Structure 1
């Protein structure tokens, strides 16, 4: 279980973070959350689908990286084998949290940076320093803060995107049934995608609404990304043939 602590330059003055991507660091996930503003980069390499969050029941867009549990086909001996690494992977072991306002500080909550102290990336000897010797943010931490703000914006955008898709009934369940050359069958259930029939049947006002909100392009990115399932299969076959 993660052990998130509020980041500060006193308790964590010597903190360092290893930025490598490996199975040992927990990067062997079959999918990760993605965000509309990175769909263009994601769809070049990863299939985009939707899943229901097991805890909240809310839909979230995901980048699919493997066909089997605990399988990330983009991990190699040399690290991450793709031109673009999803934002939700790059932010590790940090996340952004919200603290309620203190008395006399107005009504706006504060966004704070937290670090998972139990992450194997975190130590005090190797990796990127989090703070400068005098206590200021290191360039690495500054980039992380910017990335966390990007993710926070993306999380809000995800909610808006999903609300629109549900309002126009554009989500439909899909099951990927994939049989490999060696006869191994992989059934990926619990995925959702865009219903193309309902999309093409939308009234002009609905189409205009999607365009105005910038979500029509997101929809096309999702649909275009599905061709990457073939690339995932090719990666599995190459992996099996080399073993």
Structure 2
């Protein structure tokens, strides 16, 4: 997504402007998008939510599947418009991002200088004539700050699932574009293990605010068939009867 991510500063970016995103061509090759726990409820109505294991960090991370094939995003039309009711927050933040400062518990707001939505001709200025941040910068800082807090919560959520042995590998077969595809390489929550947790552990899940995302994730797995339909060129807004018929 980012090709030239640079920390924002008033000396270097005094005349820099940012335009509103008109299309999502920059995400057309993304078959997954990271999502935060707070997004699960909305994202689950559109995308399958699964977990990827990052062995280098010894952690699991939730992602929304945008396709069953790498290098493909089934939710971007020929006009570059996002064809779904919800766009993952990590996509909406573009062309901005946070970078952690080395040896510090703080972050710096960065911008992709190579983005076609960044330049000196059109858009909203990042700094005013006095060199002070404009409302654009303030809004971005607030938005990215909220995402960072969500990420902390999401990391704790995934750690809890791992510690309680609730992850299990996904192994599913679906028909997509006249081919049978094996959906593997990711993890889901083991519903049987979840249901067998003690009452005490279940109350702990409730107290932590994990119930809604847990069941949103489990519900979202039916959207894997939605991806198969989209791959076949069948509208994802067709009736359940049409979808069922197409998958037989």
TM-score if structure 2 supplies the norm length?
0.83
Matched ranges for 1:88-167 at <5 A? 88-99=90-101, 109-167=105-163
Aligned residue number for residue 34 of structure 1:
35
RMSD: 2.3
Bigger drift between 122-131 and 215-224 goes to 122-131
Bigger drift between 92-101 and 190-199 goes to 92-101
Aligned residue number for residue 168 of structure 1:
164
Separation in 2, partners of 1:36, 1:114: 24
Q: Tell me if structure 1 keeps the 8 A contact 2:60–2:159.
A: no
Separation in 2, partners of 1:188, 1:130: 43
Q: Tell me if structure 1 keeps the 8 A contact 2:18–2:122.
A: yes
Separation in 2, partners of 1:124, 1:194: 47
Aligned residue number for residue 232 of structure 2:
237
Q: Tell me if structure 2 keeps the 8 A contact 1:22–1:28.
A: no
Query: Alpha-carbon deviation of 1:220?
Result: 0.6
TM-score if structure 1 supplies the norm length?
0.85
Question: Of residues 197, 221, 236 in structure 1, which corresponds to 2:192?
Answer: 197
Partner secondary structure for residue 171 of structure 2: strand
The 1:119/1:52 distance shift into structure 2, 3 A limit, reads farther
Residue segments in structure 2 that go unaligned for 5+ positions in a row: 236-248
Residue segments in structure 1 that go unaligned for 5+ positions in a row: 102-107
CA offsets 1:192-240 (integer angstroms, 9 cap, x no match): 0010110110001110111110112210110111122222222222269
Q: Tell me if structure 2 keeps the 8 A contact 1:87–1:147.
A: no
Separation in 1, partners of 2:135, 2:28: 24
